[in-house]
A and B are shown apart, each in its own frame.
Chain A
Amino acid sequence: DTEVTQTPKHLVMGMTNKKSLKCEQHMGHRAMYWYKQKAKKPPELMFVYSYEKLSINESVPSRFSPECPNSSLLNLHLHALQPEDSALYLCASSPQGAHYEQYFGPGTRLTVT
Protein backbone atom coordinates (compact mmCIF):
# COMPACT_ATOMS: atom_id res chain seq x y z
CA ASP A 1 0.00 0.00 0.00
CA THR A 2 1.68 3.22 -1.18
CA GLU A 3 -1.18 5.52 -0.34
CA VAL A 4 -1.19 8.84 1.42
CA THR A 5 -4.69 10.05 2.23
CA GLN A 6 -5.76 13.63 2.88
CA THR A 7 -9.00 15.05 4.23
CA PRO A 8 -10.95 17.05 3.40
CA LYS A 9 -10.66 17.16 -0.40
CA HIS A 10 -12.01 20.71 -0.49
CA LEU A 11 -12.26 23.37 2.22
CA VAL A 12 -13.71 26.86 2.11
CA MET A 13 -13.05 29.02 5.14
CA GLY A 14 -13.39 32.62 6.19
CA MET A 15 -10.47 34.67 7.41
CA THR A 16 -11.61 34.36 11.03
CA ASN A 17 -12.18 30.60 10.98
CA LYS A 18 -10.03 27.87 12.48
CA LYS A 19 -9.79 24.64 10.53
CA SER A 20 -7.45 21.67 10.21
CA LEU A 21 -6.15 19.56 7.36
CA LYS A 22 -5.40 15.91 7.98
CA CYS A 23 -2.92 13.55 6.35
CA GLU A 24 -2.47 9.85 7.03
CA GLN A 25 -0.13 7.12 5.81
CA HIS A 26 0.31 3.52 6.87
CA MET A 27 3.53 2.73 5.04
CA GLY A 28 5.68 3.05 8.16
CA HIS A 29 7.32 6.20 6.83
CA ARG A 30 9.00 8.32 9.49
CA ALA A 31 9.36 11.51 7.43
CA MET A 32 6.27 13.54 6.57
CA TYR A 33 5.95 16.80 4.67
CA TRP A 34 3.53 19.63 3.97
CA TYR A 35 3.70 21.44 0.63
CA LYS A 36 1.72 24.36 -0.75
CA GLN A 37 0.99 24.59 -4.48
CA LYS A 38 -0.44 27.62 -6.24
CA ALA A 39 -2.02 27.29 -9.67
CA LYS A 40 0.45 26.54 -12.47
CA LYS A 41 3.38 26.55 -10.03
CA PRO A 42 5.43 23.69 -8.59
CA PRO A 43 4.90 22.63 -4.97
CA GLU A 44 6.71 24.62 -2.28
CA LEU A 45 7.91 22.91 0.87
CA MET A 46 6.38 24.22 4.11
CA PHE A 47 7.27 21.78 6.89
CA VAL A 48 9.15 18.53 7.43
CA TYR A 49 8.60 16.13 10.32
CA SER A 50 11.17 13.48 11.14
CA TYR A 51 10.27 10.85 13.72
CA GLU A 52 7.29 12.96 14.78
CA LYS A 53 9.46 16.00 15.47
CA LEU A 54 9.45 19.19 13.42
CA SER A 55 12.80 19.33 11.66
CA ILE A 56 12.25 21.98 9.01
CA ASN A 57 10.02 25.06 8.90
CA GLU A 58 10.52 26.95 5.67
CA SER A 59 9.74 30.32 7.28
CA VAL A 60 6.02 29.67 7.15
CA PRO A 61 3.73 32.27 8.81
CA SER A 62 2.47 31.29 12.25
CA ARG A 63 -1.13 31.18 11.03
CA PHE A 64 -0.12 27.70 9.78
CA SER A 65 0.57 25.33 12.67
CA PRO A 66 1.67 21.76 11.96
CA GLU A 67 1.26 18.84 14.30
CA CYS A 68 2.39 15.21 14.14
CA PRO A 69 0.51 13.32 16.89
CA ASN A 70 1.88 9.92 15.84
CA SER A 71 3.95 8.27 13.15
CA SER A 72 0.99 7.84 10.80
CA LEU A 73 -0.77 11.16 11.14
CA LEU A 74 0.08 14.73 10.19
CA ASN A 75 -2.18 17.73 10.76
CA LEU A 76 -2.03 21.31 9.57
CA HIS A 77 -3.99 23.73 11.74
CA LEU A 78 -5.15 26.90 10.04
CA HIS A 79 -6.12 30.15 11.74
CA ALA A 80 -6.69 33.70 10.51
CA LEU A 81 -5.71 32.89 6.96
CA GLN A 82 -5.56 35.38 4.12
CA PRO A 83 -7.11 35.03 0.66
CA GLU A 84 -3.61 34.61 -0.79
CA ASP A 85 -3.30 31.39 1.23
CA SER A 86 -5.81 29.78 -1.12
CA ALA A 87 -3.96 26.89 -2.76
CA LEU A 88 -3.67 23.13 -3.04
CA TYR A 89 -2.07 21.74 0.13
CA LEU A 90 -0.18 18.53 -0.42
CA CYS A 91 1.06 16.06 2.14
CA ALA A 92 3.88 13.63 1.39
CA SER A 93 5.75 10.92 3.22
CA SER A 94 8.92 8.92 2.76
CA PRO A 95 11.15 6.55 4.64
CA GLN A 96 13.74 8.36 6.72
CA GLY A 97 16.82 9.13 4.65
CA ALA A 98 17.72 11.09 1.58
CA HIS A 99 17.70 8.21 -0.91
CA TYR A 100 14.02 7.41 -0.77
CA GLU A 101 11.21 8.64 -2.95
CA GLN A 102 8.44 10.79 -1.62
CA TYR A 103 4.83 9.70 -1.94
CA PHE A 104 2.22 12.43 -2.25
CA GLY A 105 -1.41 12.54 -1.25
CA PRO A 106 -4.23 13.87 -3.46
CA GLY A 107 -4.20 17.26 -1.74
CA THR A 108 -6.73 19.55 -0.09
CA ARG A 109 -8.02 22.42 -2.21
CA LEU A 110 -8.29 25.36 0.21
CA THR A 111 -10.21 28.54 -0.58
CA VAL A 112 -10.04 31.45 1.87
CA THR A 113 -12.86 33.98 1.49
Chain B
Amino acid sequence: KQEVTQIPAALSVPEGENLVLNCSFTDSAIYNLQWFRQDPGKGLTSLLLIQSSQREQTSGRLNASLDKSSGRSTLYIAASQPGDSATYLCALRGRRSNYKLTFGKGTLLTVNP
Protein backbone atom coordinates (compact mmCIF):
# COMPACT_ATOMS: atom_id res chain seq x y z
CA LYS B 1 0.00 0.00 0.00
CA GLN B 2 1.35 3.41 -0.97
CA GLU B 3 2.26 5.64 1.94
CA VAL B 4 3.08 9.31 1.51
CA THR B 5 4.91 11.28 4.19
CA GLN B 6 5.48 15.02 4.29
CA ILE B 7 8.14 16.54 6.48
CA PRO B 8 8.05 18.90 8.25
CA ALA B 9 4.41 19.01 9.38
CA ALA B 10 4.78 22.75 9.97
CA LEU B 11 7.34 25.34 8.97
CA SER B 12 7.69 29.00 9.87
CA VAL B 13 10.14 31.21 7.97
CA PRO B 14 10.82 34.93 7.59
CA GLU B 15 9.82 36.64 4.38
CA GLY B 16 12.36 36.39 1.58
CA GLU B 17 13.79 33.05 2.62
CA ASN B 18 14.16 30.17 0.16
CA LEU B 19 12.64 26.96 1.47
CA VAL B 20 12.18 23.29 0.66
CA LEU B 21 9.20 21.08 1.44
CA ASN B 22 9.68 17.34 1.36
CA CYS B 23 7.47 14.48 0.25
CA SER B 24 8.48 10.82 0.43
CA PHE B 25 6.64 7.76 -0.83
CA THR B 26 7.02 4.01 -0.46
CA ASP B 27 5.94 2.67 -3.88
CA SER B 28 7.78 4.04 -6.92
CA ALA B 29 5.22 2.61 -9.37
CA ILE B 30 3.56 5.94 -10.01
CA TYR B 31 2.12 7.78 -12.99
CA ASN B 32 2.77 11.22 -11.58
CA LEU B 33 3.03 13.42 -8.52
CA GLN B 34 1.06 16.58 -7.98
CA TRP B 35 1.75 19.43 -5.54
CA PHE B 36 -1.22 21.39 -4.22
CA ARG B 37 -1.71 24.45 -2.09
CA GLN B 38 -4.69 24.75 0.26
CA ASP B 39 -5.71 27.90 2.10
CA PRO B 40 -7.77 27.43 5.31
CA GLY B 41 -11.30 26.24 4.54
CA LYS B 42 -10.72 26.41 0.79
CA GLY B 43 -10.26 23.98 -2.05
CA LEU B 44 -6.98 22.68 -3.46
CA THR B 45 -5.03 24.69 -6.01
CA SER B 46 -2.82 22.63 -8.28
CA LEU B 47 0.72 24.02 -8.33
CA LEU B 48 2.79 21.55 -10.32
CA LEU B 49 2.38 18.13 -11.89
CA ILE B 50 5.43 15.95 -12.51
CA GLN B 51 5.10 12.87 -14.65
CA SER B 52 7.03 9.77 -13.59
CA SER B 53 9.42 10.21 -16.54
CA GLN B 54 10.30 13.77 -15.54
CA ARG B 55 12.86 14.99 -13.02
CA GLU B 56 11.51 18.45 -12.33
CA GLN B 57 8.94 21.08 -13.17
CA THR B 58 9.07 24.82 -12.67
CA SER B 59 6.43 27.50 -12.39
CA GLY B 60 7.49 30.99 -11.40
CA ARG B 61 9.11 30.85 -7.96
CA LEU B 62 8.24 27.18 -7.54
CA ASN B 63 10.35 24.22 -8.55
CA ALA B 64 9.38 20.63 -7.90
CA SER B 65 11.69 17.67 -8.31
CA LEU B 66 11.03 13.96 -8.44
CA ASP B 67 13.43 11.10 -7.69
CA LYS B 68 11.53 7.84 -8.05
CA SER B 69 14.52 5.69 -7.14
CA SER B 70 14.73 7.22 -3.68
CA GLY B 71 10.98 7.78 -3.34
CA ARG B 72 11.27 11.51 -2.85
CA SER B 73 9.93 14.77 -4.19
CA THR B 74 10.77 18.28 -3.09
CA LEU B 75 8.99 21.57 -3.60
CA TYR B 76 11.37 24.53 -3.61
CA ILE B 77 9.89 27.97 -3.03
CA ALA B 78 12.19 30.89 -3.81
CA ALA B 79 11.99 34.27 -2.13
CA SER B 80 9.02 33.37 0.05
CA GLN B 81 6.23 35.90 0.63
CA PRO B 82 3.52 36.14 3.30
CA GLY B 83 0.99 35.24 0.60
CA ASP B 84 2.69 31.84 0.29
CA SER B 85 1.36 30.94 3.74
CA ALA B 86 -0.86 27.87 3.29
CA THR B 87 -0.86 24.10 3.63
CA TYR B 88 1.07 22.33 0.87
CA LEU B 89 0.01 18.81 -0.07
CA CYS B 90 1.72 16.32 -2.31
CA ALA B 91 -0.31 13.58 -3.94
CA LEU B 92 0.66 10.57 -6.03
CA ARG B 93 -1.27 8.76 -8.72
CA GLY B 94 -0.09 5.19 -8.44
CA ARG B 95 0.00 2.57 -11.17
CA ARG B 96 -1.75 0.07 -8.93
CA SER B 97 -4.76 2.37 -8.36
CA ASN B 98 -4.73 4.72 -11.27
CA TYR B 99 -7.73 6.87 -10.45
CA LYS B 100 -6.79 7.45 -6.88
CA LEU B 101 -4.61 10.25 -5.60
CA THR B 102 -2.79 9.24 -2.42
CA PHE B 103 -2.14 12.34 -0.36
CA GLY B 104 0.40 13.21 2.26
CA LYS B 105 -0.81 14.95 5.40
CA GLY B 106 0.60 18.27 4.27
CA THR B 107 3.06 20.89 5.47
CA LEU B 108 1.62 24.03 7.06
CA LEU B 109 3.81 26.92 5.90
CA THR B 110 3.80 30.30 7.61
CA VAL B 111 5.84 33.12 6.07
CA ASN B 112 6.29 35.96 8.52
CA PRO B 113 6.55 39.56 7.28
Contact = CB atoms under 8 A, between A and B. Distances in A.
Q: How large is the interface on B (under 10, 10 to 19, 20 to 34, 35 or more residues)?
A: 20 to 34
Contacts of B41: 88, 107, 109
B106 A42 contact: yes
Contacts of B44: 43, 90, 92, 104
Contacts of B49: 101
Interface residues of A, number: 25
Nearest to B90: A42
B25 interface: no
B79 interface: no
Contacts of B89: 42
Interface string B88-110: 01010101001111011110000
A74 to B, nearest CB: 14
A112 B55 CA distance: 44
Contacts of B76: none
A103 interface: yes
Given A48-B99, A48-B100, A107-B42, 12 more contacts: A31-B99, A42-B103, A42-B104, A43-B44, A43-B103, A50-B99, A56-B99, A90-B43, A98-B31, A101-B32, A106-B42, A107-B41
Interface string A56-88: 100000000000000000000000000000001
A103 B46 contact: yes
24 contacts: A4-B43, A42-B103, A42-B104, A42-B105, A43-B44, A43-B101, A43-B103, A45-B99, A45-B101, A50-B99, A55-B99, A56-B99, A88-B41, A90-B43, A98-B93, A98-B95, A98-B99, A99-B32, A101-B32, A101-B46, A103-B46, A106-B42, A106-B43, A107-B43
Given A56-B99, A99-B32, A104 B104 contact: no
A48 B93 CA distance: 14
